[in-house]
Amino acid sequence: MPQYILALDQGTTSSRAIVFDQLGNIKAQAQKEFHQLFPRPGLVEHDAQEIWSTQIGVAQEAITQARLRPSDIAAIGITNQRETVVIWERASGKPIHNAIVWQDRRTAGWCDQLKAAGKEELIQQKTGLILDAYFSGTKVKWILDNVQGAREKAEKGELAFGTLDSWLVYNLTGGELHITDASNASRTMLYNIHTGEWDDELLALLDVPRGILPEVRNSSEVYGETAEGLLGSRIKIAGIAGDQQSATFGQACLERGMAKNTYGTGCFLLMNTESDAVPSQNRLLTTVAWQLGGERTYALEGGVFVGGAVVQWLRDGLGIIRSSGDVETLAASVPDSGGVFLVPAFVGLGAPYWDPYARGSMLGLTRGSTAAHIARAALEAVAYQSAELVAAMEKDSGVTLRELRVDGGASNNDLMMQFQADILGVPVVRPKITETTALGAAYLAGLAVGYWQDTSEISAQWQEERRFEPQMEPAERGARLAKWKKAVERSRAWEDADA
């Protein structure tokens, strides 16, 4: 039996490859950044060919670094930035336009038209998503409408659409497979999460021809093998999941009510709701977490647009720290934020507000406020925003959170993780292996080829590195959350009020 699993982690700013062993430990890893393209304000694109070349490059590099032969790899698992769209010619395999990235806002106006036409509820009922330019469907329509001859070619079946997982699998198999998994399909606004099928009514509404869509498969199964000559020998491709769902699997949040929060540029919090696609009354997303053996597991998801990015702003915008690592020391030099509240609504507010017109604000400043108070308020803001997501999830699901598993770069900030536990009133637990996104893809691929036997073996492998127990009194927690909500209200609809 080959001894290792290769995970391909195709992110928004870089492509990575990590080789894992049977215990989930990292044997080797490689990473390469690629260009971010900004044709105009609000528009974000990637060169899909560059993504493919960086991804195959780091795959080869990781195998070499680990001093392995390709035959030592039991399977490949893929995880990817979600919602980003590529459309390519079936005959040549060439993209007809740059990939349109999840952050891109070019279709916001059309989303407003759909809302005005009363389509928001229909979309939420079928897809579990909020009607927003964030998701893939409106991006697909934009490419078909704006690239010369694209719609005619699409109607003839000459084009293929995919999220980045589809694009990678297509290239890895030499054009043999045009597939996606249920977790990625559930982010397109074209897929019915209840039937598990592409939805004709949604396809008609968004004007997307069925012939360009990939086949939807399980998140863990042997789909095929890498093309001859690509990696030295043919390797099974056996796992696919969108990045946040993959991180949830990698964190072994495999039972109802278990939740993880990834602290990256933004924060993504997912709670497992098992076979129950819980409709959100609190502006969260209902999404497919993964599909195993034809059975879908669902999750509630909330996103914070500005998480770790607030620390970058302290460094690059305000210049009060030299490097991101300095923020914890500065914030820890004061016992609290001195009544300062920072709402980092730099690009509007995500769940549960979905207010694109909110803007950042700092409140409670006095002559005694210092850079240290601002730094502490910035870290606390990330925790407050995450706490609001947890509260919304508990209301929607009827499940009380027992603990929050955390990962991502900012999860290494002990001060912030302690405050997160304090403001939630439940333990925050950091695992030994924090590369949970890639690990989840590895687990999904390994399960399909018998490298790991079942999900209970995966749960048993998960190990905590540190547990942060809440220390704040309930009365103080309530008072702080009330003040935070007051600060958020002052930030909301700022652009509207100005107009």
Task: Give residue-wise pLDDT tens across range 120-173.
Answer: 999 999 999 988 888 999 999 999 999 999 999 999 999 999 999 999 999 999
| Residue 379: inside a domain | no
Residues comprising the chain, all counted: 499
| Residue 485: inside a domain | no
Mean pLDDT of 276-287: 92
| 312 annotated to bind ligand | yes
Q: Residue 101: is its pLDDT beyond 60?
A: yes
Report how far residue 59's alpha carbon sits from residue 56's, in angstroms, rounded to the nearest whole number. Answer: 5
| 281 annotated to bind ligand | no
| Residue 120: inside a domain | yes
DSSP per position, 116-184: HTT-HHHHHHHHS--S-TTSHHHHHHHHHHHSTTHHHHHHTT-EEEE-HHHHHHHHHTTT---EEEHHH
Contacts of 241 (CB under 8 A, 6+ apart): 78, 79, 181, 183, 184, 219, 249, 290, 440, 441, 444
| 12 annotated to bind ligand | yes
pLDDT at residue number 300: 95
H-run or E-run covering 15: strand 14-20
- Contact status, residue 255 vs residue 267, Cβ threshold 8 Å: no
Q: Residue 236: is its pLDDT beyond 90?
A: yes
Q: Is 470 helix (H, G, I), strand (E, B) or coil?
A: coil
| 409 annotated to bind ligand | yes
pLDDT at residue number 470: 96
| Residue 33: inside a domain | yes
| Residue 233: inside a domain | yes
| 134 annotated to bind ligand | yes
Number of domains, the chain = 1
On the 0-12 / 13-18 / 19+ scale of CB atoms within 10 A, 312 is: middle
pLDDT at residue number 496: 58
| Residue 305: inside a domain | no
| 455 annotated to bind ligand | no
| 83 annotated to bind ligand | yes
pLDDT at residue number 35: 87
Question: What does DSSP say about strands 464-468 and 428-431: parallel, antiparallel, or unpaired?
Answer: antiparallel
What confidence category does residue 498 fall into, taking pLDDT thresholds of 50, 70 and 90?
Answer: very low
Report how far residue 409's alpha carbon sits from residue 430's, in angstroms, rounded to the nearest whole number. Answer: 11
| 244 annotated to bind ligand | yes
Instruction: State the Cα angle at 100 between 493 and 188, rounded to 5°.
Output: 80
Domain boundaries, position 63: 4-244
| Residue 425: inside a domain | no
pLDDT at residue number 434: 83
Least confident of 177-186, 290-299, 317-326: 317-326
Report how far residue 193's alpha carbon sits from residue 212's, in angstroms, rounded to the nearest whole number. Answer: 19
pLDDT at residue number 374: 94
- Contact status, residue 417 vs residue 428, Cβ threshold 8 Å: yes
Report how far residue 94's alpha carbon sits from residue 84's, in angstroms, rounded to the nearest whole number. Answer: 17
pLDDT at residue number 2: 65
CATH of residue 45's domain is 3.30.420.40
Q: Residue 488: is its pLDDT beyond 70?
A: yes
pLDDT at residue number 229: 86
H-run or E-run covering 242: strand 236-242
- Contact status, residue 166 vs residue 179, Cβ threshold 8 Å: yes
| 308 annotated to bind ligand | yes
* Backbone angles phi and psi of 277, in degrees to 5: -80, 85
| 243 annotated to bind ligand | yes
Mean pLDDT of 436-451: 95
Provide the phi-psi class of 95: left if phi over 0, else alpha when psi is between -120 and 50, else beta.
beta
Q: Residue 499: is its pLDDT beyond 70?
A: no
Instruction: State the Cα angle at 118 between 115 and 120, rounded to 5°.
Output: 60
Task: Quote the percentage of the chain above a pLDDT of 70.
Answer: 99
Report how far residue 86's alpha carbon sits from residue 98's, in angstroms, rounded to the nearest whole number. Answer: 7
pLDDT at residue number 497: 42
| 386 annotated to bind ligand | no
- Contact status, residue 14 vs residue 103, Cβ threshold 8 Å: no
Closest CA to 492 of 380, 342, 345: 345
| 14 annotated to bind ligand | yes
Q: What is the mean pLDDT of the chain?
A: 92
Buried b (16+ CB within 10 A) or exposed e, 275-307: eebbebebebbbbbbbbbeeebbbbbbbbbbbb
Neighbours of 495 (CB within 10 A): 12
- Contact status, residue 396 vs residue 402, Cβ threshold 8 Å: no
| Residue 317: inside a domain | no
Report how far residue 316's alpha carbon sits from residue 20's, in angstroms, rounded to the nearest whole number. Answer: 35
Q: How far is CA 469 from CA 140, 236, 311, 403, 422, in A?
A: 46, 42, 24, 10, 7
Provide the phi-psi class of 293: left if phi over 0, else alpha when psi is between -120 and 50, else beta.
left
- Contact status, residue 421 vs residue 428, Cβ threshold 8 Å: yes
Provide the phi-psi class of 255: left if phi over 0, else alpha when psi is between -120 and 50, else beta.
beta
Mean pLDDT of 343-366: 86
Report how far residue 366's alpha carbon sits from residue 376's, in angstroms, rounded to the nearest whole number. Answer: 15
Q: Tell me, what DSSP letter sits at residue 295?
A: E
